[in-house]
Chain A
């Protein structure tokens, strides 16, 4: 069996049920799952114009309420909408941040894919600095970019440094204060600021 983190569960579907032994089956890319009249292609499936077919190896997954069929299987290192990611701020621009993704739902990834965080509607002088570690939620994949949000208390900066002297900071109400020089600065802080439990020995 592959490691458990290589198998995904489809958490995007509400009322998902793994079809009973008579319904759920092991599927391989190209296997026919249903006709297009019966079900729509969900995650792990595609529509070839006549049939819905599996696109990844896995267990077939049926959502009979929404009439969607798909397959669960090995995960690719690219996040999907709804996933939580941890990454490093690569670039800061006037109205957005580019963040290189390092963890997807707690799983270390090495594919250097970036996501975009719009900062236009965040009323803060500094949301994050380049090099900061942030936790974000993926909202969409649009026009070739992966878009993320920080609009939840647990989302935002996990680790940062003082903008003036580059040393460690402590939280100071909603802001951060340099432990060395006392400089106080804005950041969109995560409620889990400073917690490094996601880093594990490989």
Chain B
């Protein structure tokens, strides 16, 4: 551990004393995520959108679906780009200007969960092979940073992708032309759900809030798909996990993830 200020140390002691007594400062069980609320269609002008609140953390994600030129080696697949930004109004320490390494990691972890789970069947997003494909952009904006942005952005991206309506294009004179009035949903094959866990001393907690996030020794984000398989992982933080801890984290991610998956699925049915 690096140098910790006296105040940070006092705050950490408050958290660990509470965990040693078997409870969290906000009264949650160790494996209990904060309340999740999902609204879809928040940004009607985007093809898909969702506003997600995970406790006090809030993310708004918009999905844009546009024809794009394929990469030379993947002319038989559509393109997916998932970004994340912590808006400067989200936290006093959030900065304007180029993204920090933490924000880049956030975007890549969210992107990896969706990409590696093959949530969207990219082979169905081809307008004309090697010439024009469908590009899906999911842009996450964190508007209130109260801890665990990985999961909040991941749920918001999934809900916005499920909400998205894809226009239909046909090739006219070598260029894609939108067919009026014809749209469909994106081809979805599975719903990836990330569960981030933090280790504070010997305790492992699901969905750390802002104060817990500051005190964590290590964290792990485990993304599982609808079949209950693990499809993406990211370990972070200044310390490590034991093998036994990681094995139990996977079980937690699958169990907690299954409940969250049904919340995400029902957000689509409501809209």
Contact = CB atoms under 8 A, between A and B. Distances in A.
Contacts of A111: 92
A76 to B, nearest CB: 14
B92 A110 contact: yes
A133 to B, nearest CB: 5
Contact of A201 (B7, B26, B92): B26
Nearest to A158: B6
Interface majority SS (helix, strand, loop, mixed), chain A: loop
A74 B39 CA distance: 31
B10 A201 contact: no
A128 to B, nearest CB: 12
B7 A102 contact: yes
Interface in A133-181: 133, 159, 161
B145 to A, nearest CB: 12
A106 interface: no
Interface string A86-98: 0010000000000
Q: How many B residues are at the interface, by size bracket?
A: 10 to 19
Given A110-B92, A111-B92, A196-B10, A201 B211 contact: yes
B15 A201 contact: yes
Q: Closest 10 CB pairs between A and B?
A: A201-B25, A110-B92, A199-B10, A159-B6, A196-B10, A133-B6, A202-B211, A201-B14, A199-B11, A201-B211
A159 B10 CA distance: 10
B104 interface: no
A88 B7 contact: yes
6 contacts: A88-B7, A111-B92, A131-B5, A196-B13, A201-B211, A202-B211
A131 B10 CA distance: 13
Interface string B1-33: 000011100110111001000000110000000
A132 interface: yes
